[in-house]
Amino acid sequence: MSVQSKPNIQLPSGAIRPIVILISGSGSNMRSLVETAEREDWAERLKAQVVAVISNRPDAKGLDWARSAGLITQVLDHRGFDSREAFDAALMRLIDGHQPALVLLAGFMRILTPDFVEHYQGRLINIHPSVLPAFPGLHTHRRALEAGCGFAGATVHQVTAALDHGPILAQAVVPVLPGDTEQTLAQRVLSQEHRIYPQAVAAWLQSH
């Protein structure tokens, strides 16, 4: 595990609620969340602030952007653990060091154990690239194209022990166009992910 931090995170006085984001790759949804939080001044309006980004992959490109944004970045490589349970237990300890009000999954490519999900019950949120309950799991765009769907989309939901289930917080729909590939459909869906994820998180913060 390696830990890097920048000194310019300053939590305003008062009951600021820390947010931790988990990523495995480019972190585009993480970036959208952080930029929206800054632009809409969540610290003042919603008493919440993104404080840390954690990845299970040392080479996750999103870590570079998070560091440049002055966020604490931490890496916990899942390949160094003998079991999913051992990794999740270590990840919980790392997350809990930030005392988070919310834990946001933003392209975190790990199936989480029931103990992990229970530990953060009610404050663990994910975004999934399909209109749930359709196409849980992987390869959602390929499956939508193979099924001949006329539309696709994205879902923000609270995480439960069942994969890609849990209370839905927001959804967006995009058309499937003639000639679409997995890549073109993914890009169209991703633009909506960047829009609805921050909106859903802000609404959660507003109501809690």
Q: What is the pLDDT of residues 56-103, one digit of tens each?
A: 999 999 999 999 999 999 999 999 999 999 999 999 999 999 999 999
Say if residue 112 is in the same domain as residue 131.
no
Geometric angle at alpha carbon 124, from 123 and 130, rounded to 5°? 135
Strands 151-158 and 124-128: antiparallel
Residues 6+ apart with CB under 8 A from 89: 115
Taking the chain, what is the end-to-end CA distance rounded to the nearest angstrom? Answer: 33
pLDDT of residue 147: 97
Residue 14: its pLDDT value, please?
Answer: 61
CATH number for the domain harbouring residue 82: 3.40.50.170
Number of helices and strands in the chain (H, E): 7, 8
Per the structure, how many domains does the chain have? 2
Q: Are residues 20 and 108 in the same domain?
A: yes
Domain span at 75 = 1-6+14-120
Question: Is 161:114 a contact under the CB 8 Å cutoff?
Answer: yes
Residues whose CB falls within 8 Å of the CB of residue 204, separated by 6 or more in sequence, listed in order: 102, 125, 169
Domain limit, last residue, from 120, 138, 170: 120
DSSP per position, 128-140: ESS-TTSS-SS-H
| Below-50 pLDDT ranges, the chain | 1-13
CA distance 78 to 61: 17
* Spatial distance between the Cα atoms of 126 and 129, rounded to a whole number of angstroms: 10
pLDDT for res 12: 45
Q: Catalytic: 128?
A: yes
Backbone angles phi, psi at 152, to 5 degrees: -140, -170
State which of 60, 92, 120 marks the end of a domain: 120
pLDDT at residue number 112: 95
pLDDT on residue 15: 86
Pairing between strand 72-75 and 151-158? unpaired
Q: What's this model's pTM, rounded to 2 decimal places? A: 0.92
What pLDDT shows up at residue 163? 86
Which entry of 78, 98, 119, 128 is annotated as an active-site residue?
128
| Pair (111, 135) in one structural domain | no
196/182 same-domain check: yes
- Same domain, yes or no: 104 and 163: no
Residue at a domain's end among 120, 147, 165: 120
